[in-house]
Structure 1
């Protein structure tokens, strides 16, 4: 061995040690948890996190900071979120020691019916253009949440994003990738290029991007309130734009929009109460998965083992069959939530799992019934209030429809409707809310707050929530480790749109799983594929009530940051 090669080998080994090893914790962890006493914010973009911290330092509530951060994310992460989309939240009110649930999803246009698609033999609502556009619920959500939990004026909360929109901000790495990937094929959609493709292309990492149109829209909202969006010039602009481009969303649809306060639903998992929102969202699927998994000694299986990944995947398949059959707008359906979330039902479903073989299909439950892309953020304040908030326009750049001069894209959430079967729970109907993928989460223990968390990723979010809970409770990981740990996602099962997956689907694994595990999974008939950065965007804030300390985490798959003071 030559001296030069020996030096090269030493440098190579040392570089690997420096790049990967840590003095504490799991080897896959990218950083330590963030600790602070007075307040904490975790978002998917550092500028939004800093805006939230600034609001907290000014005396704003956790909700004030969450709204300010969400407005900022609509500017700096436009392929994933914005005021053209919907919003959901779970809020811990420290004074009342109570959890509140909020559903800010919009409804289908009154003039759009399932017959429109059937007569034209269109089997699925398209992803882009005017047809998938539903009423945006975000702005109404801001004002409803602020009225109950806010302190500072809305104008003060929107001002940071207004300033950044006019002055510009450097586009961060992952968001630059998402804007580039998401804008493919959008160039000719009306208004898109003028807003999101300066110089004829999406901005690259480090380039300064401006959106003065969005700043102007935010100013109109700050001055005119929620009615400026739903009954004022913004609504009239959207109405005229949609009529011009053969769309169905109208001024009347916007003017009649309302949000809903809802009761969060929960199950107890090994002494911890896990909270989600009820349908039309899919949070119930995470609770169903956890109920099934509670019947196994997950801790003894070990993280990343074939035994654990097998039962996790099968639990997902079972829950998602129920998701496709039962989850929809409760205003149009009777949903058997008590049965779906019962331990007895989970035990019956668990019996269907073969420990040695992956199922190609499972039946949905036989129960008695009366006739994507997203950003997640969480904030906690000095008074102990905590907000778990998720907001989305659905897929990257959503419908691609950008109303004239408003600076934001309209969501394509209506793409989730079933337009093949009038009797399906999620069949398109005028004024109906579509099945929704975005879900905030919260954990309490003995009636006290323990953790506010969530992540993005469309239909795979319940799988992510389940893995986070199991990582924390069964495998004893800390908040940062639980988010950085390699993840799986299973693609398959019936879908709320009416499409059917068969042959067992595909189990996607990130790169840190051992190949011995992969071999064992294949022996159980799992079809394996490999993915990079599966549904990143996890943020979390935990609370140590004894020491009065917040713990924050933001995983490594996106540009995010957790910070406190």
Structure 2
């Protein structure tokens, strides 16, 4: 139980249904959908659509989507991969012949074909009660009539990772009056409202065919991109088997590669060999073990993860007990490893949504345009911000994640699902680009090893190993910082909050739901 004399918030508690998102308007839209007879999938898509308007720096219909779903709370996890692909003409030789050493972070060559709308429409057709028109209605309202810019959104808008002024359409829409909106300002996106109306009317074809696709292709080709109408029309997401491990009696489930979710499972397999519960949850030794397990797992990620349609990814080997044993043996509890390659993990802006309905359908849903405002390329007539997932590809022909025609890049956004005794226990997720596997592991070990409720577990201060230093949030205790330095870690204060997450915990015995939303974002959890 939290100390009520200190800043913080209690978890949300309810019996019927619960939604947790990173924006109040999104949570409200999800609850309205649930109370109007929609189920958890309807509510999740509705919430994601609202956030595509009110959190334009983090997500949009020009991005990608991944979903884990437990129908009626059963433990069989349905996994949907809604990540887009490189254009058919995007060969590695095309880029190397033109002097590219890496994929750019901004502009047309950073853009992969968006997969979100295909995913939304397919998931509603297969698992929803309401159609895409109902799911998009609140988003259309906010795009057309305006929405108030919230505080974290405004902070992200102030310093995006790409230059909004470099694209005339992006500047016109997202720099009104030549500058970013401030918290409390009202922002409008009328072009996006019209686009959403077309999708509401025509469904998937309203995005991947006809005037919307034509506008996006014209914009990309004008800027030098390789995309074609055929690339858009051919875009299809699909169902894939989830990857899973067991951690101290709980099943933990993730998306398989091309997703990075497997990284969190490798970390958990390493950490299961340590008695974390005997340690100070905020002490140096616990954080050191988490950091070292992460460094080892990220080495696997960077060397091996890619689109399994193009290369073989040794998932079974990576999840094996023998692999975990080998990695664990490399960890010294008193000294940081010195022989691992440096990793540079850019952050990203993402939205994560957790919903459980009265039938205990449990949805773990994540949607993103990657960097803040994606590629910075915006459709001239449609108002769609296009993602920059292409920047995750490599240009080394020998690397598994090298760009290739219609290939999906290694992807950072990862929904999570926890199960136990044949039932779903908690859809959860932690946003933040490369931080996400660290975030998942920190959340789960806080709850399982240290008996924190979901809100306490999300509130807890975080560290992250990146670019050869440990980034520590200001909430990390001075004694823990000193203990990490004594073990050989280089420490720096985190320039920005590390990630942001949501979770909904199901208590089957009591018949209750407990929801949590990260204070690092604007959102909240609400139920009824």
Report the TM-score, using the length of structure 1 for normalisation.
Answer: 0.90
- CA spacing shift, 1:161–1:300, aligned 2, 3 Å: same
Q: For residue 499 of structure 1, what is the aligned residue in structure 2?
A: none
Alignment of 1:230-269 (within 5 A): 230-269=208-247
Aligned-residue offset at 1:98: 2.5
Runs of 4+ in structure 1 displaced over 3 angstroms? 23-29
Would you say 1:42 and 2:20 are equivalent positions? yes
Would you say 1:334 and 2:312 are equivalent positions? yes
Aligned-residue offset at 1:536: 3.1
List per-residue Cα deviations over 1:271-292 (Å, max 9, x = no partner). Answer: 0111111000100000000110
Equivalent in 402, 408, 412 of residue 378 of structure 2: 402
Q: For residue 368 of structure 2, what is the aligned residue in structure 1?
A: 392
List per-residue Cα deviations over 1:327-370 (Å, max 9, x = no partner). Answer: 10000111111110112210111111122211123389xxxxxx
Alignment of 1:148-547 (within 5 A): 148-182=126-160, 185-362=163-340, 372-419=348-395, 421-492=396-467, 505-531=468-494, 533-547=496-510
Aligned-residue offset at 1:115: 1.4
Aligned-residue offset at 1:121: 2.8
Equivalent in 495, 500, 517 of residue 554 of structure 1: 517
SS, match of residue 187 in structure 1: helix
After superposition, the CA RMSD in angstroms is: 1.6
Alignment partners' CA distance in 1, 2:510 and 2:334 = 46
Aligned-residue offset at 1:231: 1.5
- CA spacing shift, 1:251–1:184, aligned 2, 3 Å: closer
- CA spacing shift, 1:306–1:24, aligned 2, 3 Å: closer
Report the TM-score, using the length of structure 2 for normalisation.
Answer: 0.97
Q: Which has the larger radius of gyration?
A: 1
Alignment partners' CA distance in 2, 1:132 and 1:183 = 13
Q: For residue 345 of structure 2, what is the aligned residue in structure 1?
A: none
SS, match of residue 292 in structure 1: helix
Aligned-residue offset at 1:25: 4.8
Alignment of 1:61-72 (within 5 A): 61-72=39-50
SS, match of residue 159 in structure 2: helix
Instruction: Name which of structure 1's ranges 478-487 and 189-198 shifts more when overlaid on structure 2.
Output: 189-198
Alignment check: 8 A CA contact 1:29 1:481 kept? no
Alignment check: 8 A CA contact 2:427 2:503 kept? yes
List per-residue Cα deviations over 1:194-237 (Å, max 9, x = no partner). Answer: 21111221111101111111110000001011011112211111
Alignment check: 8 A CA contact 1:66 1:379 kept? yes
Q: For residue 52 of structure 1, what is the aligned residue in structure 2?
A: 30
- Structure 1, gaps ≥5 residues long: 1-22, 365-371, 493-504
SS, match of residue 166 in structure 2: coil
- CA spacing shift, 1:149–1:329, aligned 2, 3 Å: same
Aligned-residue offset at 1:303: 0.8
Aligned-residue offset at 1:375: 0.7
Alignment check: 8 A CA contact 1:376 1:456 kept? yes
- CA spacing shift, 1:519–1:97, aligned 2, 3 Å: closer
Aligned-residue offset at 1:183: 7.1
- Structure 2, gaps ≥5 residues long: 343-347
Alignment of 1:82-93 (within 5 A): 82-93=60-71
Alignment check: 8 A CA contact 1:29 1:484 kept? no
SS, match of residue 407 in structure 1: coil
Number of aligned positions between the proteins: 523
SS, match of residue 474 in structure 1: helix
Alignment check: 8 A CA contact 1:488 1:510 kept? yes
List per-residue Cα deviations over 1:111-161 (Å, max 9, x = no partner). Answer: 121112222332111100111100000000001110111111211111111
Aligned-residue offset at 1:95: 7.2
